[in-house]
Structure 1
Amino acid sequence: MRTSTIIAIDGPAASGKGTLAKRLAAHFGMAYLDTGLLYRAVARDVAAAGDALDDPASALNAASKLDAQSLDDPALRGPLAGDAASIVAKIPQVRAALLEYQRSFARADGGAVLDGRDIGTVVCPDADIKIFVTASDEARATRRHMEHESRGETIAFEKVLEDLRRRDSRDKERNIAPLEQAAGALFLDTTTLDADQAFAAALLLIEHARRRS
């Protein structure tokens, strides 16, 4: 019987789920995993091998040899890495290869918070708390545009919005583990919330959920 709490955070790009998940993990003293980094790392390694991101054999090879110690690579944090990740994430063999790693992490002593796009639906469908975080397309694009500007990158807002919507489409329409709100997941719209407000709102949702259980 599992004794540690699992909190699953899902949502689209730039919804604020990563920031929220990290803060919840720190608040509750749990381990934290940004599962998107796994797919970003696979995409990085496929590209480094000179192969196409949608090459199943190369992607599976990269996933099976993935070094968890390389997940702190700063190159994995940019939006381009996220876009590449959504391509390899469509490959069923890659998702299968990374599934057990994620589930093993979720069983960590002391509990764990995982964020991604299929945590509550596939990776940890029995999670104690599930939260689906989202925001309007425009709000998410504004956040991503600000990230570009903070790095000194010049890109039109319209291009950021277009790229975001294209990635959303890939994530929602893939045949394996599409992005969707898990059954029983708490819904959190961060369109008008800053990071502190989103964190406070999530704590209230979790408190109410625990009272009902």
Structure 2
Amino acid sequence: MSREQAPAGLVIAVDGPAASGKGTLARRLSAHYGLPYLDTGLLYRMVARAMLDAGHDIRDPDAAASLVSIFEESAFAEDTLRGREIGEAASVVAAMPAVRSGLIARQRQFAAQAGGAVLDGRDIGTVICPQAQAKLFVTATPEVRAARRHKELAGRGETATFEGILADIRRRDARDSGRSDAPLKAADDAVILDTSALTVEEAAAAAIAIVERRRTAR
């Protein structure tokens, strides 16, 4: 894939559920267009990590609200933000309106960089960057996503069953889609990209094609 110069202010919003492939595609788009990339899910994982490290109940919205504006992104090693437990905890705090509102400014500041940016998450196209030039909603069947996550966890030496991971994914989907504040959903002008039957290269090519069509249309 050849790298292409991004036009001024190109913002690409990549949304989707857990293990859909949105992070991989967002990184590919970032490399292709030479744009900075933000995995917004890591911000929620940082809040969850800070909660757990401080001994707070992960479901305590007041504790989360007290931490969301003061945590330093540089204070967390990325390997402490990965794994099944922290992913589940992040999904819990992400449903809290105070956490979401507290992180909006950080995400919008990143997107406002002069040359543009690529952001992935669950509400980029609907809440964080509703004016993004290109919006993708990346999805895959729960079974495919569970298989991907199972392989990822096994590669890191974590023990988890496929059935347990599938149950986690369905639970997170229900929580993310059902929350009252910025629920997980495709923006009205987003292009749906189902990666269930695609290789990484095929999905990346499809994602670039989507962005190019949006750029041409505008």
TM-score interval, smaller chain? over 0.9
**TM-score, L = length of structure 1:** 0.96
**TM-score, L = length of structure 2:** 0.93
In 2, the alpha carbon distance for the partners of 1:72 and 1:155 equals 23
> Which residue in 2 is equivalent to 1:89?
94
Offset of 1:70 from its aligned partner? Answer: 3.1
CA contact (8 A) 1:46 1:58 kept: yes
CA contact (8 A) 1:29 1:110 kept: no
In 2, the alpha carbon distance for the partners of 1:47 and 1:205 equals 39
1:43-122 equivalent positions in 2, closer than 5 A: 43-70=48-75, 72-122=77-127
In 1, the alpha carbon distance for the partners of 2:11 and 2:62 equals 32
Q: What secondary structure, in the 3-state scheme, does the structure 1 residue paired with 2:38 have?
A: strand
In 1, the alpha carbon distance for the partners of 2:77 and 2:159 equals 25
State whether structure 2 residue 38 is matched by structure 1 residue 33.
Answer: yes
> Which residue in 2 is equivalent to 1:182?
187
In 1, the alpha carbon distance for the partners of 2:164 and 2:154 equals 13
Which segments of 5 or more consecutive residues in structure 2 lack a partner in the other structure? Answer: 1-7
Which segments of 5 or more consecutive residues in structure 1 lack a partner in the other structure? Answer: none
In 2, the alpha carbon distance for the partners of 1:10 and 1:187 equals 10
Offset of 1:147 from its aligned partner? Answer: 1.0
Q: What secondary structure, in the 3-state scheme, does the structure 2 residue paired with 1:13 have?
A: coil
> Which residue in 2 is equivalent to 1:147?
152
In 1, the alpha carbon distance for the partners of 2:89 and 2:186 equals 23
1:113-132 equivalent positions in 2, closer than 5 A: 113-132=118-137
Offset of 1:152 from its aligned partner? Answer: 2.1
> Which residue in 1 is equivalent to 2:211?
206
Query: Which of the residues 193, 200, 205 maps onto 1:195?
Result: 200
> Which residue in 2 is equivalent to 1:10?
15
CA RMSD of aligned residues (A): 1.1
Number of residue equivalences: 211
Identical positions, percent: 53
Offset of 1:16 from its aligned partner? Answer: 0.3
